Amino acid sequence: MVIFSSVTKIFPNGDEVLSKLDFHITAGQMVIITGKSGSGKTTIGRLLIGDLQPTEGSISVDGENIVGAKQKDLIPLRRKIGTVFQDYKIIPDKTTYENIALNLEVASFPKDEINDKVEKILEIVGIPSKKHLFPSQLSGGELQRASLARAVATEPHILFADEPTGNLDKVTSKEIFELLKKINKAGTTVIIATHNQDLLDLGKLHHISLDKGKIVKDTHPSKKKSVKTKDSQPKTATKKKKK
């Protein structure tokens, strides 16, 4: 579904943020991208939605190369990808309900469906009673849930969550991760960029680890090389010599 091939990103100041990244994400996976601050996690998300263009390499989503695409051609792509931003990007002078409804309007959902969709997604993320509150009236965890609700209301194929627990306490962080798992089990491909590994069972997830813009670990099944042992080598029949 998502393929990065030899992707390098160098900013105008000369900083090489990503260096020859090669990875692919299969539809329906839950993927964790880890690394220290500045390792390139957020840049991957911005490249994925076409907010940035790579210096080199190709990026494809659902078989379509998005590198060099014009802004008008990126509209269908952005409808496939829901994004949860590190700083939420919730509109401050609109209520929780209005923030989600506006996203649905922009995505051209029929007006007569919007109310039911907003009500349903607020139930899923666990804040139905907060729909008439403004962002300033919400806690950090509630803001993150509102941001998640807005991102998944349009039924994207892919959800990219950038540091979804960065400003949250341990208990709330666990709740948000459980919510992301629930969204993934419903069929959405979930990509989480985080430096918080404490609450994750990385052994059961597709884990991509970055260090200074390079992949140092990728546990996608296709990356695992089979190691041949003596026992696994094909045996050749040999004739016994006569004494």
Mean pLDDT in residue range 36-47: 94
Residue 243 scores a pLDDT above 60: no
- DSSP per-residue codes, the chain: -EEEEEEEEE-TTS-EEEEEEEEEE-TT-EEEEE--TTSSHHHHHHHHTTSS--SEEEEEETTEE-TT--HHHHHHHHHHEEEE-TT----TTS-HHHHHHHHHHHTT--HHHHHHHHHHHHHHHT-GGGTT--GGGS-HHHHHHHHHHHHHTT--SEEEEESTTTTS-HHHHHHHHHHHHHHHHTT-EEEEEES--TT--GGGSEEEEEETTEEEEE--GGGPPPPP-TTTSPP---PPPP-
Over residues 73-94, the pLDDT tens digits come to: 888 888 899 999 888 889 999 9
Class of the 2-223 domain?
alpha beta
Over residues 183-226, the pLDDT tens digits come to: 999 999 999 999 877 767 766 889 999 999 999 999 988 765 43
Tell me the pTM: 0.87
Q: Where are the domains of the chain?
A: 2-223
Residue 56 scores a pLDDT above 80: yes
